[in-house]
Every structure is written in structure tokens, then in C-alpha cells.
Amino acid sequence: MTWFPDGSPYSYMTSGDSRAINVGWLDGTHAFPQAPPTTELLTALFDKCGEPANKTRGWHRCELCDAPAPFLVERNGQNLLLGGAEIRVETPAGPVFAAPDLIYHYVRDHHYNPPVEFVMGLISDE
């Protein structure tokens, strides 16, 4: 997976939105903010990951653990395969956040704490 700092301009796929900024592009060599996730955040992330914005060719694995790619997750009887797409989260203030769909795994299993503006946009989208 490619690492981008949170808040940097999105540039991973050329067909992306020019307003988009990166969030949740983690790797095994850069520190990231951590906090236990809320149920509300996990539910909103799972739902958003079920509506991918950009599908990639192939699968990315998590560099923070030994989880295989694609990464299968289950929530409330629904399954998703993660590691092969991106999500977009729009905010009322204007920024559009671009994140890998592995962000659900990062938040749930590695306690990645995304920026507040991203979380607020995600939850208000529900």
C-alpha cells in the first residue's frame, strides 16, 4: 500500500477528484494516531466501504499485520472484501476525503484514529 500523510492532496489514481485529500493511507513504517473506535464509527465505515468509489486492479494487504489479501470482514451478518477499492467521504465544509477501503480494518483492528473532520463527514452521511 502506498503511504500518504493525512490531509495531503490526493494523487493516487489520476481519475480522482482534484478536491480530494488523503486520509487513512497507512503503512508499517509511519506512526499514526490511535484511539479505540466507537461502534458508531465502525458502523459508518463498514457501510461506506460497501459503496466503493474507485476499484483497483488487484488486492492490497495490510502492512501492519499478517492478514491475507483480500481481507474478509463481517459485521451484522454482512461480508465485505477489503483491500481492492477506495471510499470517498464528503464533508459539509467542502473537503472530500479519499481513503483505502482497508481503513475499516485499520480503525477496527489497529485503532487508527482518523481526523475529526473525516469522522464527522462520515457520520453525517449516514
Q: Is residue 53 part of a domain?
A: yes
Q: Are 63 and 27 in contact (CB under 8 A)?
A: yes
> What does DSSP assign to residue 104?
H
* 105 within domain boundaries: yes
pLDDT at 89 over 80: yes
Q: 89 lies in which domain range?
A: 20-24+34-124
Structural domain contains residue 2: no
What is the model's pTM?
Answer: 0.92
- Indicate the pLDDT class of residue 15, thresholds 50, 70 and 90: low
Please count the structural domains in the chain.
1
What does the pLDDT look like over 95-125, one tens digit per residue?
899 999 999 999 999 999 999 999 999 998 7
Which spans in the chain are helix H?
A: 39-49, 103-110, 116-124
Residue 109 maps to a domain: yes
Residue 4 has pLDDT above 70, yes or no: yes
Overall average pLDDT of the 76-99 stretch: 92
Q: Is residue 14 part of a domain?
A: no
Asked if residue 46 is part of any domain, the answer here is: yes
Distance in angstroms (rounded) separating the CA atoms of residues 123 and 56: 25
Write out pLDDT tens, residues 16-47.
567 899 999 999 999 999 999 999 999 999 99
**Residue 8 maps to a domain:** no
> What is d(CA 57, CA 45) in angstroms, rounded to the nearest whole number?
22
pLDDT at 1 over 70: no
Closest CA to 87 of 124, 57, 33, 44: 44
Q: For residue 53, give every residue at least 6 positions away whose Cβ sits within 8 Å of its Cβ, in sequence order, or none.
A: 85, 86, 87, 88, 98
* Residue 52 placed within a domain: yes
Average pLDDT over residues 62-70: 89
CB atoms closer than 10 angstroms to residue 105:
23
